[in-house]
Amino acid sequence: MSQAAIEFDVPVPMRDGVVLRADVYRPSGEGPWPVLVQRTPYDKTSPMASVVLDTLKAVRRGYIVVQQDTRGRFASDGDWLPWAHDHADGYDTIEWAANLPGSNGKVGMFGASYTGNTQWSAAVTQPPHLKAIAPQITWSEPEDGLFFRGGALEFGTNLWWTLMQAIAHYPKIATDPEELSAKLGGTVDDYDRIAEATYWELPSGASPAVARTGLPDTGLERGLRDPASIAEARVAGRHGEVLVPSLNIAGWYDAFQQGTIDNYIAAREQGLTARLIVGPWEHRSGASVTPGHLGTVNYGLGSVALPSGDGTMTGVQLDWFDHFLAGHPPNANHRSGVDIFVMGLNQWRHEEQWPLARARSIEFFLHSGGGLYLDTPTDEQSISTYVYDPADPVPTTGGALIISSDFPAGPRDQQSVEARDDVLVFTTDPLTEDMEIAGRIGATLFAATDGPSTDWVVRLCDVDEQGRSLNIVDGMTRVRTDSGRIDRIDIDLWSTSIVIKRGHRLRIQVTSSNFPRWDRNLNTGEDPVTATEPRVAHQTIYHDATHSSLIALPIVPAC
């Protein structure tokens, strides 16, 4: 195909009369062609719109591609309120796209993060002409990774994202150049000082920086004021309303890793065709200038070559759509299944399902003196203590996150974190053989604090022969309690696939903060929307015969 046509700002009328606009890319000829749609709040004309699927390659392959600005963003009319209109607008857009000149009436959707969620939002409304979706790095339950995690605020993501969206939105709403300059200047300053100043402002749940934008809140704070609004972004619990197959793509160090996996699992449970691909990637890996590298680890170029089709992200998605939209014969890539990148081995592996049926949950127990062993403690009473000061929280150092670039994601050396007085470490002896961990990880702590509320954070690390400690997964739980009461705290660390090499050691960290990824618990029990006064907390972890704190790992038996 040597020619293509582009129509800019094509009007797309919604049922309530609001007009959205889309750019339509067409192959040469009369077709009929299947249609691919991405609905984005990030500007349909930006290079980012083609990062997850190359628009021009799709057109060359014989697809009409629609890039649409969501309601109230850039070229589209209406008031912008994230997630609020994406169900109805998604339905209307799909049915409009199916009737474009040259369309064969079959529509698919693609995109990542927010534009992954717009796919699920449309799919649950069951537009008749939607035939397949390919959501990447997106969430399922917004209270588990988008707005909140374990009851704490996903603060680092939401404040950074809100400031970014305000900066992009000002040119659309400013009435004169002076107003635009003033708005941009103030928010850009807050954004540029986010690590050393803006993140530290209180209250966390009603950020002064968000208030200074002068815009209606677009994320976390709206959810805190009106929890019912969280339902607009929720996929969890609605997979039974979805009728179409899904290609789900995740990263082990992505902020929405578990959400993408949960979407796949729920779709399979509903009897839908669903595929899952998980690589050693973070949220921004698609724009990486060092392919194969993440954090301080080089996983090799093979980590960015997907294990099917031509190995590219675009090729794998187009292969998926070729069957469901263009009528090509099915093959193994159109059946349900899983392709995971096994870190440590640095190899792709195909599995029929996830989680792996052959994995066995093995418990490692915290012991006095910082040991981590398979044997349960026998001490009558054994504790470890530390002091958590919200004015000096443990700094975010790697992980599955997307926040300000001052805090990069991925596996990062934890030695500076582990040297702190407010971080407990528990470590195994060197492994005598390789250990494969594959699945969802959970920890149980028996813990007490001297205040009405606090946070408990657990992180799993891989320690090599030189003592370098690299984070694998982590999680947290925010609690309300009575002073001094021993509580059982269950903590979800999400999922991984990794081989810990012989001679390495497993380590878990126990602490009470990971800032600014999660907001600081001020240890007062006050609402984060109003709380501004911190108090120091004295923390106690129990690891004895009666209170056996542990981490449970899904271990794959050696063949």
Q: Angle at which helices 86-98 and 114-123 pack, to 10 degrees?
A: 80
Side chain identity at residue 1, one-letter code? M
Compute φ and ψ for 545, nearest 5 degrees.
-65, -30
Q: Cis peptide before 377, with omega less than 30 degrees from 0?
A: no
Both tokens of residue 184? 């941009």
Specify the pairing of strand 246-253 against strand 19-27. unpaired
Which of 283, 367, 504, 543 is the catalytic position? 283
Separation CA 450–CA 540 (nearest Å) = 9
Kindly name the residue from 76, 103, 113, 285 that is annotated as catalytic.
113
Q: Are 529 and 206 in contact (CB under 8 A)?
A: yes
For 311, other C-beta atoms within 10 Å of its C-beta total 12
**DSSP, residue by residue, 273-308:** -EEEEEEEEETTGGG-SSTTEETTEE--GGGGS-SS
Q: Helix, strand, or coil here: 264?
A: helix
Is 113 labeled as catalytic in the residue annotation? yes
Beta strand pairing call for 360-366 and 550-556 = antiparallel
What is the distance between the alpha carbons of residues 458 and 518, in angstroms, rounded to a whole number? 13
Closest C-alpha among 424, 507, 514 to residue 468: 507
CB atoms under 10 Å from CB of 220, counted, come to: 28
The neighbour count for residue 324, using CB atoms within 10 Å, is 21
Out of 69, 92, 254, 492, the active site residue is 254
Of 362, 388, 387, 382, nearest to 370 by C-alpha is: 382
- What CA dihedral angle connects 50, 52, 57 and 61, to 10 degrees? -130
Spatial CB neighbours of 275, under 8 Å, sequence gap ≥ 6: 245, 246, 247, 248, 264, 320, 333, 335, 336, 337, 338, 339
Beta strands 435-449; 550-556: pairing state: antiparallel
Per-residue HEC secondary structure of 360-428 comes to: EEEEEEECHHHEEECCCCCCCCCEEEEEECCCCCCECCCECCCCCCCCCCECCECHHHHCCCCCEEEEC
The answer to whether the CB of 248 falls within 8 A of the CB of 260 is yes
Catalytic residue numbers?
113, 254, 283
